Each structure stands twice: as structure tokens, then as C-alpha cells.
Amino acid sequence: MPKGFPKEFFWGTATAAYQVEGADAEDGKGPSIWTSFSRQPGRIADGHTGDIACDHYHRFEEDLALMKELGVNAYRFSISWPRVLPEGRGPVNTPGMDFYQRWVDRLLENQITPFVTLYHGDLPLALQERIGGWAGEDIDRYFGDYAALMFRTLGDRVTYWITLNEPMRFSFIAYGKGEYTPGEQNLKTAFLVAHHLLRAHAQATARLRELLPNGKVGLINAASWIEAASESGEDIQTAFIANQLLHDWFFLPVLTGKYPEEAAQFVRGLGLLPVFDPQEMSRIAKAPDFWGINYYTRRRVKMDMSRPIFFAYAPPERETTESGLEIYPQGLTAFLKIAQKEYGSIPIFVTANGMADKDVLSNGVVADERRIAYLKSHIEAVQRAIAEGVDVRGYFVWSLLDGFEWTQGYDKRYGLIYVDYEKSLTRIKKDSYYYYKNYLAL
Ligand code: FCB
């Protein structure tokens, strides 16, 4: 394993159920909010859906062999809630549950440590329709029960559990920008949903503590390096609020039971802060065992109240990825240092990092040099943070495979492995796969 990292470091790749599994209506699986959202005209680039995705559900042995050859010792994947509980609650779908049981067993037999994300976007449609999904008052209870079911079923073999992947997306992006399911634009609901997500995290944490005393629970937050678009006092103040709103909002309540003060004032001033019993905040304050941080880019912000979530981003100053994100590895070091200082000094995993590139398959080769440079510089950024004292325990490339990239459909490829959608989903190792493989073999 590479030098300059702790001995027990986890090196992995990450995926999410709806993005790779496919088999969306098979073996008793219930539809998710993405099953229906992806069918709405105009929502997803080129009208793509995750119905088939990479067909990982049927090809997991092949994907496992690819991972084994890659040499990773960890894999982060998510459970599809409607695959195990088609209605979101009630009877368990045994074939769906068996799939995850088998998958965890196979990973462990291959010395790959599973990192299980309980929620990565695919809420059972039944819960959306019956109780309003994440806006529903009781959603945290359902989530807690689902989490407990998974703890009971897989907890004898899985140690690392992640409650939610990027709650910011399911609240501000889904209900603020309206870009993700259910695609509404209602900021009041966005803040309510954010609150319910924090409650849900707390519920699942409490259930884990009760059921799996040796289990470790984490929360993954989206992280960007946020800076002011200019040196004006106004922009500097905006960057301060943006950091509180896009980061602290999902870190601090879990630690301290409080929303960040200035951002909360700002949100309250707009009449958007949900009303809740103050006691409830002490129930939300359940520190995790680790933080997951998904890092991709830097954002230079300016206030723009006409935007769905208040901020406009200045045009990138440096090279960008195929998704238009500025490549800024030093932001990862800087964020990790701040996270360690401000967010309770608990272990951190970089749970997603990678880039969309213009991958061209030519004579069986994908020469994705830009991705190699991206990964290299970001791994070095992690190493630098560790050298400066940050307790980073693992690094996961997003992603193992090209997959369904939400509203961007299959147009944006993030994988170390190319998926040939034209030719029966054949997997082709990109040059970045070999880069990571050789790096891990050092
Ligand atoms: C991550 C998301 C994941 C994927 C990548 C590009 O942060 O969690 O689902 O879309 O971004």
C-alpha cells in the first residue's frame, strides 16, 4: 500500500445503487422516486433512466473480480431501500435482501471491507406518495426502522455504516433548485427536508448504538472549497454564509444540536427556518464515529437572491472537468484541515472524489490522462492533510464504473471502468484504472 498514509488506511471506490444496479423492477423491487422522476419528460439528459444502468445487480461477480484486480481494500455502495422494503416499510423483499447478503459475503471473502450507505437518493416511491417523502413528518421513523432492519441483517458482517449521502442534495438541490427528485422549487420545504434528514440521521445513529455496539456510523456531506468571488466585503460575507449554509448546516447540528448562528438568522429572516421543539435539537446532536466528505471542486460565490439557493458561482478560473467543475486539489487539503478543527476532531474518510472526463474508447483503450492527473493531485492533497495532522482514514474514488449520473444521465462518465452502453454493457478498464492499480501496489 502507498507510503505516506496510515497503515490501516482504506483505499476504495464508491457507487450508489440507483446509479449502477439496474434491475429496477426485478425480483420484487419497488419503484423509487428516481424510477418515476427519470420518466418525466425533460428531467434527465437524453431521457435516460436507471432502469438498467450498469446491470451491476446481475454482474456483480464480474465487478467484484475487477475490484479484486484493482487491489482496493474497501468498497462503498448503497442499499436500495425499495429493493429491501418495496413499500418503504412493512414486509421485507427477500430476494432483494439476499442480494445484499450475498454481496457483503463476497466482498468479505475477497478481503474488501464494505462501507454501506443506507440512503443515496432512491427513496421508495410509496413513501413519497403516502407521506410526502422527506417532507413528511414521520419520515425519520421509517428511516430508523429501515436502518435497524439493515443493522440486524448485515451488522454481524458490516462495521462501517453511512446514514445519508449528501443530505444537501436531497434538500437544497431537490427542493430548492428543483433539480433532483421530486423536482419542486419551494425553499420552505427545502429547509424542512434538511431538518428531517438530520432527524433521520439521528434516528439511525440511535438504532445503531443500541443494536451494534461495535458498529461505526458516519454521515457523508458534500464539500466544496468555498471562496468569495471578489475581495469586496459583501462577497466575503457571502462566502461566510455560504460555508455555514452548505457545510455547517449539515455538520454542526449533529455535533452541537445547533444550526450555525449567522446562517440560521439569515434563513429565519427570510421566513424559511422550520419551527421545531428545541428539545428536538438535543436528540439530533448525536456525534457520528466518522465524517464522510465528498469533494470535487472550488466555488467562488456571490450573493444572488434570484437564485434558488441564494448564491451565484463566478466562472471557473482554472481547468474544468467535463461537468464544468473547476479542478482545485488544494481545496481538499484546506477543507480537511478545517473539518478536523471545526467539526469535532473525529476521523474523516474522503468518501467520493473523481471527475467526469471526455472518455473515448479507441481500439479497446480509454486514455483518460486528465482523470489520472486529477486523482493523483487529489490523493496528494489528502496526503498533505494527513502530514499536517488531519485524521483521514480512507479515500474512495468516485467511481468504480461509469453510471447513471442523475440529471446528467449517462453522458458524464466518472468510472475507472468504462461501461460500453452500446455493446451490452461491456466493462473496459480505463488507463486511470491501471494508474490506481499500480499506485495501490506500491
Ligand atoms: C457525488 C454523488 C454521486 C455522484 C458524484 C458525481 O457526490 O454522491 O452520486 O453523482 O457526486
| pLDDT exceeds 90 at position 260 | yes
Whether 49 lines ligand 1, by a CB cut-off of 6 Å, is no
Cβ neighbors of 423 (< 8 A, separation 6 or more) are: none
Domain spans in the chain, listed from the N-terminal domain onward: 10-440
| pLDDT exceeds 90 at position 4 | no
* The pLDDT of residue 233: 98
Average pLDDT, the chain: 97
Q: Name the closest-CA residue to atom 4, ligand 1.
A: 405
Atom of ligand 1 nearest to the CA of 19: 9
CA pseudo-torsion sign 65, 67, 71, 76:
negative
Whether 294 lines ligand 1, by a CB cut-off of 6 Å, is yes
Q: What average pLDDT score do residues 356-385 get?
A: 97
Whether 366 lines ligand 1, by a CB cut-off of 6 Å, is no
Atom of ligand 1 nearest to the CA of 16: 9
Q: 226-233: which pairs have CB atoms within 8 A and are 24 or more residues apart? A: 226/298, 226/299, 226/300, 226/301, 227/298, 227/299, 227/300, 227/301, 228/300, 228/301, 228/302, 229/300, 229/301, 229/302, 229/312, 229/313, 229/314, 230/302, 230/314
Whether the predicted model's global pTM rises above the 0.85 cut:
yes
- Domain 10-440, architecture per CATH: Alpha-Beta Barrel (3.20)
Cα of 352 to ligand 1 centre, how many Å? Answer: 7
| pLDDT exceeds 90 at position 308 | no
Confidence of residue 315 (pLDDT cuts 50, 70, 90): very high
Whether 352 lines ligand 1, by a CB cut-off of 6 Å, is yes
Q: Name the closest-CA residue to atom 5, ligand 1.
A: 398
Atom of ligand 1 nearest to the CA of 14: 3
* The pLDDT of residue 15: 99
* The pLDDT of residue 276: 86
Whether 406 lines ligand 1, by a CB cut-off of 6 Å, is yes
Q: What average pLDDT score do residues 151-173 get?
A: 98
User: Can you tell me the distance from the alpha carbon of 247 to that of 138, in angstroms, rounded to the nearest whole number?
Assistant: 25
Whether 398 lines ligand 1, by a CB cut-off of 6 Å, is yes
- Grid look-up 457520528 returns 288
Q: What percent of the chain has pLDDT over 70?
A: 100
Residue 182 one-letter amino acid: P
Atom of ligand 1 nearest to the CA of 414: 6
Confidence of residue 1 (pLDDT cuts 50, 70, 90): confident
- β strands within 193-245, DSSP E: 216-228
* The pLDDT of residue 277: 87
> Which residues partner with 162 through β-bridges?
117, 218
Whether 18 lines ligand 1, by a CB cut-off of 6 Å, is no
Whether 100 lines ligand 1, by a CB cut-off of 6 Å, is no
